Amino acid sequence: MQDTYSNFFFRNHCNNKELISSSQKDDLYFYDPILNFASRGAGHLSPLFLRTATGKGMDIRASGLNGEPGYLRCERGLGDFRRGRWVLFTARTTGDSVLVTAVESASPPDFAALGGLELGAPWIAVSPERASALGFETPESALALSPKTNGRTSPSFDSLLSVLKDPSLDAARPLGIVANPAHPAAEAALSLLRLERIQPAIVGFDLPKSAQNQIDTACAEGSLVRVFDSDVATYPRTQALGLRRVSEAKVPLSDSLDSSFIVFREPGGREHVAIEVGSPNRQEPVLLRLHSACLTGDLFGSLRCDCGEQLRSAIGLMQDAGGGVLLYLAQEGRGIGLGNKIRAYAIQDQGLDTLDADRVLGFGEDERRWEAAAAILRDLGIWRVELMTNNPEKIAALRNEGVLVEHRRALQAPIHRYNVRYMTAKAERAGHLLDDSE
């Protein structure tokens, strides 16, 4: 039989680079110069491998008319969360479900919307970080909290909800709370909120079998969306794979007259910018800065952080070096978003450092993800870099995404009385390297 794959090619339509050469006999060979590996299969490549290996130049959908169904379910679920609606989460392995709404968006939760469902007592699930900040022994997983039944000091559910809704009230939280491990489906809901920079806390109900028919009808009618825990697990990667270059233009800067802005957009609308300074030589490691957006520091010159100084310093150093790329990533507040960052500032004013303040809100010390950054680099044809950073985690993250980080260059900013606690926390607790040594 004639080999139908002998002249099989793929091209990245962003830079028209050939990514797949040819196959021999029944095997299809694939070589990716960015990820620096070859693969061969029995006449085909999986859609997942193609999406991962080719980056953003190709729009490959595994299934579904409008995209991958799991991704679409997450998008619908997030939209409903933002509007204070109820969302159904199901664990694939067991089939068990919970009906939940976000604490932050529900003011108060619209229990009337549940209609005639026969549900038990509600609970509130919080992330491990928030549970620890509430005084529970540091848990490995999320906890479901509810008032003790008939306890003399137990709060009402509404008072418990009001405390958890405002982290500044944690110090005055009521006693009489029962804490149990959260359902795996509830943990998936918390993870999805965390990814979208919404405080990871939910009001929920276990779903009894007696309510199953009504729930199935609501899902079939479209008034309720069912999200699986496996959907949430793959959501960040699928989001990055949908990244697209949307515009570019020359933008002269005060620190570099020869610079260009290239804008990339995720399917959900979040935009990142690649700022190309000068003419970086892609045959050598490209000088690279991963810079997470910081409205307060970058635009207004806030003294609470070193972000603005690092941003301007990086551009100047790239100009002096003859070229480089700065990725300006929409990851405000180490990935918790602007609203939560300002909340964390208020908590810091009560005496906590930046990492503990984020924990009180329910977030980890760094919620940023780097799939989108790696996708942009692949689109730009950059796979070897000299990274400007003091954060070893960025080096590990890029390498994990297939980018070769060959050197690190320190990027220092002045330490003064307004940012010394912030800088100290980064060095002593987050492992940042605040000196010029490697």
Q: What is the pLDDT of residues 110-126, one digit of tens each?
A: 676 676 777 888 899 99
Reduced to 3 states, what is the DSSP secondary structure of residue 387? Answer: strand
Query: Which residue of the set 51, 73, 289, 368 is catalytic?
Result: 368
High-pLDDT (> 90) share of the chain, %? 44
Dist. CA 350–CA 344, nearest whole Å: 10
C-beta of residue 27 within 8 angstroms of C-beta of residue 43? yes
429 among known catalytic residues: no
- Which of 132-136, 304-308, 371-375 has the highest mean predicted lDDT (pLDDT)? 371-375
pLDDT tens figures, 383-419: 999 999 988 889 999 999 999 999 998 877 666 655 5
3-state secondary structure of 46: coil
Q: What is the pLDDT of residue 154?
A: 57
Long-range CB pairs of 158-164, under 8 A, 24+ apart, other chains included: 158/108, 160/124, 161/103, 161/108, 161/109, 161/124, 161/203, 164/103, 164/124, 164/126, 164/130, 164/201
Higher pLDDT, 132 or 317: 317
Interatomic CA distance for residues 163 and 227, integer angstroms: 28
Q: Is 366 part of the annotated catalytic residue set?
A: yes
Residue 57 has pLDDT above 80, yes or no: no
Tell me the mean pLDDT in the region 215-229: 93
Choosing from 80, 231, 298, 366, the catalytic residue is 366
Highest mean pLDDT out of 52-66, 328-342, 344-358: 328-342
pLDDT (mean) for 196-223:
89
Count CB neighbours of 7 within 10 A: 9
Q: Is the pLDDT of residue 287 over 90?
A: yes
Task: Report pLDDT for 173.
Answer: 54
What confidence tens digit (pLDDT) does each residue in 136-195 have? 876 678 999 988 776 555 567 777 777 777 776 555 555 778 888 999 999 999 999 999
Percentage of the chain exceeding pLDDT 70:
73
Please state at what angle helix 47-54 crosses helix 229-241, rounded to 10 degrees: 40
Instruction: Quote the pTM value.
Output: 0.77
